[in-house]
Amino acid sequence: MKCLSPSILAADFTRLGEQVAAAEQAGAQYLHFDVMDGCFVPNISFGMPVLDSLRKSTNLMLDVHLMIEEPVRYIREIADCGADIITVHAEACTDLNHAVDMIKERELLAGIALCPATPLTELAYILPRVDMVLVMTVNPGLGGQKLIPYTLDKIRDLKAMIESRGLKTDIEVDGGINLETLGQVLDAGANIIVSGSAVFEGDVEENTKRLLDMMK
Ligand code: DX5
Ligand code: ZN
């Protein structure tokens, strides 16, 4: 199934509830929530209190992308705030298996994110245990960047890896996805589409509908 996951990093925070409602109304299925710690990535974004408020105001699948060092420190709290999917970066975990265990114990969907230059071999043994792989199509930490072209090859290779093992793992893509690049990531095999600026800059409902139309 193809799903759109608008990234609220690009939202107008003075109108967050309203903008999320507009994306939901237009048919988005997920809501992408970027947590940054100023350590794994240079920026700091938002965390538990915002997630908690959103959980109370939306039925969208809360798709939490943890760009933080040693995310095992926060998985319990993120889960308690109502996340549906928790994605950790392979590069940020000393014990990736333990992080996946913690997410699965809470009966949530577990994702592993890889930065653009991180090879897919990181997933060799753990792939059957996860529900989703997040292929970063830009360097994590900032919205509004341009998609790095070689990540399209990586999506294709991941798709082949998943199919050759008879798995049904979702492939999420994140960074620089807009009306121009959406077709390329879909063709390469992605099915969960994160989009920040292309959703929240301008008319949220209209932007969401346009992206969803291209995903049909
Ligand atoms: C970047 C974040 C993205 C970001 C995408 O590190 O993980 O989710 O919000 O923003 P756009 O779609 O504007 O590239
Ligand atoms: Zn993200």
Can you give the pLDDT at residue 129?
Answer: 98
Percent of the chain with pLDDT strictly greater than 70 = 100
pLDDT tens for residues 28-84?
Answer: 999 999 999 999 999 999 999 999 999 999 999 999 999 999 999 999 999 999 999
Side-chain-side CA neighbours of 99 within 13 Å: the count stands at: 27
Q: How far is CA 144 from CA 21, 90, 178, in A?
A: 22, 23, 10
CB within 8 Å of 113: residues ≥ 6 apart: 65, 67, 87, 88, 89, 90, 133, 134, 135, 136, 140, 174
Can you give the pLDDT at residue 35?
Answer: 98
At 72, which amino acid appears?
Answer: V
Active-site residue, selected from the candidate residues 34, 37, 63, 170: 34
DSSP state letter for 184 = H
Q: What is the pTM of this model?
A: 0.99
Decide if 3 contacts 27 (C-beta within 8 A): no
- Give me ligand 2 centre to Cα 65, in Å: 5
Q: What pLDDT band is residue 173 in, cutting at 50, 70 and 90?
A: very high
Can you give the pLDDT at residue 176?
Answer: 98
- Give me ligand 2 centre to Cα 164, in Å: 27
Side-chain-side CA neighbours of 53 within 13 Å: the count stands at: 9
Q: Which protein residues are within 6 Å of ligand 1, measured from CB?
A: 7, 9-10, 32, 34, 65, 138, 140-145, 174-177, 194-198
Ligand 1 atom closest to 8 (CA): 9
Q: How far is CA 195 from CA 12, 30, 56, 99, 115, in A?
A: 15, 11, 22, 26, 17
Can you give the pLDDT at residue 115?
Answer: 99
At 74, which amino acid appears?
Answer: Y
pLDDT tens for residues 69-128?
Answer: 999 999 999 999 999 999 999 999 999 999 999 999 999 999 999 999 999 999 999 999
Annotation says 34 is catalytic: yes
Can you give the pLDDT at residue 9?
Answer: 98
pLDDT tens for residues 119-161?
Answer: 999 999 999 999 999 999 999 999 999 999 999 999 999 999 9
Q: Going by DSSP bridges, is the β-strand pair 85-89/61-67 parallel, antiparallel, or unpaired?
A: parallel
Ligand nearest to the CA of 85: 2
Active-site residue, selected from the candidate residues 80, 174, 203, 213: 174
CB atoms within 10 A of CB 52: 13
In the block, tokens 């390469």 appear at 188
Can you give the pLDDT at residue 194?
Answer: 99
Q: What pLDDT band is residue 168 in, cutting at 50, 70 and 90?
A: very high
Can you give the pLDDT at residue 64?
Answer: 99
Annotation says 131 is catalytic: no
